[in-house]
Amino acid sequence: MRDIDLSGRVALVTGAARGIGEATARRLIEAGCTVVLNARTLNDEAQAVFADLDALRPGSTTIIDGSVAEPAVVATIARTIFAKYKRLDILVNNAGIQRDNYIGMIPDAEIEAVMVNNVFSVIRLTQALSRLMKRNGAGSIVNVASILARTGNPGQFVYSASKAAVIGATMASAKELGPSGIRVNAVAPGLIATRMTEAMTDADRRRWESQIPLGRVGSPAEVADVIAFLASDLSRYVTGQVIGIDGGLVI
């Protein structure tokens, strides 16, 4: 089997300071990619993670901090990538937030925050950066959705809706950008060991785990492997797809 070679490619990974974003950035750097790393806040923890990532291949990363929920940050990202690299080959829309609350108890501000962070950011980044991809007549966009977009879950009304919107955005952009040589796919991680799943109650965690045919929680690296595949030419005839990475939770 061929390994994934992304030498010479430039990627942006949002929410790259931890979890799936960090693992994806690591996987892409190891595959030879130059990676623009984004984190909402460049705190000590994020700086340490980014230093580790750059040490994998010194000089292979650029850091742009700021929330991609902010249009001005998206514009800065686009300008910086254009000025520094003049190209973008891979966009991984990973940044997102999770706020759980039961129906009837969800403040408006929470609805807005989840939708802006999880959906608007994907739309804005796709809109801004697909233009850069079009110049080369090629590109791969991978959106990180969630198994909850397909199954839903009590207490995750807004989060599930936001990830379903990401899948809708994936389908529409795949159709529109395909003629320009840009592929758009989504991954739908199931129960993955990240800080976001640590916020689950023990009862919820046990209930989910008991339903996983492969019998275990997944790792961020296992999601990153699929994202790297979708980013690479190995998936050159794949677009508009949602790949479940869930140990068989949804079959």
Partner 1 sequence: MELQQRVEKAFTDALDLPADVDWATLEYRQYETWSSLGHMTLVAALEEEFDAMMEADDILEMSSFNKAVEIMRKYDA
In the list 13, 78, 97, 114, the residue contacting partner 1 (rule: CB under 8 A) is: 78
* Whether 240 contacts 174, CB under 8 Å: yes
The answer to the question of residue 132 lying near partner 1 (CB under 8 A) is yes
Nearer to partner 1, 127 or 201 (CB): 127
Nearer to partner 1, 76 or 219 (CB): 76
Phi, psi for residue 64 in degrees, rounded to 5: -130, 110
Q: How far is the CB of 109 from partner 1 (least distance, A)?
A: 25
Nearer to partner 1, 46 or 182 (CB): 182
* Whether 144 contacts 163, CB under 8 Å: no
Q: Which segment (12-20, 28-36, 132-140, 199-207) binds partner 1 by CB under 8 A?
A: 132-140
Angstrom distance (rounded) from CA 34 to CA 51: 14
Pseudo-torsion of CA 63, 69, 74, 77, nearest 10°?
0
237 belongs to the catalytic site: no
Pseudo-torsion of CA 70, 76, 77, 80, nearest 10°?
-170
In the list 48, 55, 75, 214, the residue contacting partner 1 (rule: CB under 8 A) is: 75
In the list 13, 16, 91, 128, the residue contacting partner 1 (rule: CB under 8 A) is: 128
Q: Which segment (1-9, 36-44, 73-81, 189-197) binds partner 1 by CB under 8 A?
A: 73-81
Listing DSSP states for 183-204 in one string gives EEEEEEE-SB-SHHHHTS-HHH
Nearer to partner 1, 16 or 128 (CB): 128
Which residues are designated catalytic?
159
